[in-house]
Amino acid sequence: MRKRRIIAAAATVLLAAGCSQTVEGTARPASFGGSGGEEFTDLLTECDAVSDDQITDTVGADLIAQGFLGAICRWDLVGSAGTVKVTFNWFESGTLAAERAANEKLMYTVTDTTVQGRKAIQAQRPNDPDSCGVSAGADRAGIFGWWVQYQPDVAHPDPCQAAAKLADLTLNLSR
């Protein structure tokens, strides 16, 4: 029994020694504020960058239900255009180049655009006129994007215009 305790103690010491490491640099608090502003400073508040009323007005819906909250936020909306799915993402260390590469890998059509004079991209799935996404650089670091997907076979506004308007509203708040 004593031999097992000695072996267990030795294994614990070796494991602890093998898992430790020194990291060079200066410690800084984590921030969720690529903009450095108040809008993106608390975890999960990035989903509030644009209000539910603004989202509803932009996509032409009457009712909104917020689904998932996190780095990707989702809403389900209902209105005269049927069901609308809206997604917002914000990545503090993301880049437009990485977003473009991901969309191109998915075989989406990617075009350059601007939002309030900032570089942005617009992405659409092939043969899908009912959905569109716009991603733009945040004011100091990172990227954010909006994806709007309308129900097929129901008359609806242009999803690219809706995604661009939501991106525009987001940048207005992060100044």
End-to-end Cα separation, the chain, in angstroms: 67
Give the pLDDT mean for 137-158.
90
Looking at residue 100, what is its pLDDT? 97
Q: Which range, of 45-49, 69-73, 159-163, 171-175, averages the lowest pLDDT? A: 171-175
Smallest CA-to-CA distance from 83 within 3, 156, 137 is with 156
* pTM of structure: 0.73
pLDDT attached to residue 68: 75
Region 60-71: what's the mean pLDDT? Answer: 85
Higher pLDDT pick, 61 / 23 = 61
Q: According to the 3-state scheme, what is the secondary structure of 1-28?
A: CHHHHHHHHHHHHHHHHHHCCCCCCCCC
Report the distance separating Cα 91 and Cα 37, nearest Å: 15
- State the CATH architecture for 45-173: 3-Layer(aba) Sandwich (3.40)
Task: With a cut of 50, say whether residue 60 has pLDDT above it.
Answer: yes
> What is the band of 160 on the pLDDT scale with cuts at 50, 70, 90?
very high
What are the pLDDT digits (tens) for 85-143? 999 998 888 999 999 999 999 999 999 999 998 899 999 999 999 999 999 998 767 89
pLDDT band at 39 (very low <50, low <70, confident <90, very high): very low
* Domain assignments of the chain as residue spans, ordered by start: 45-173
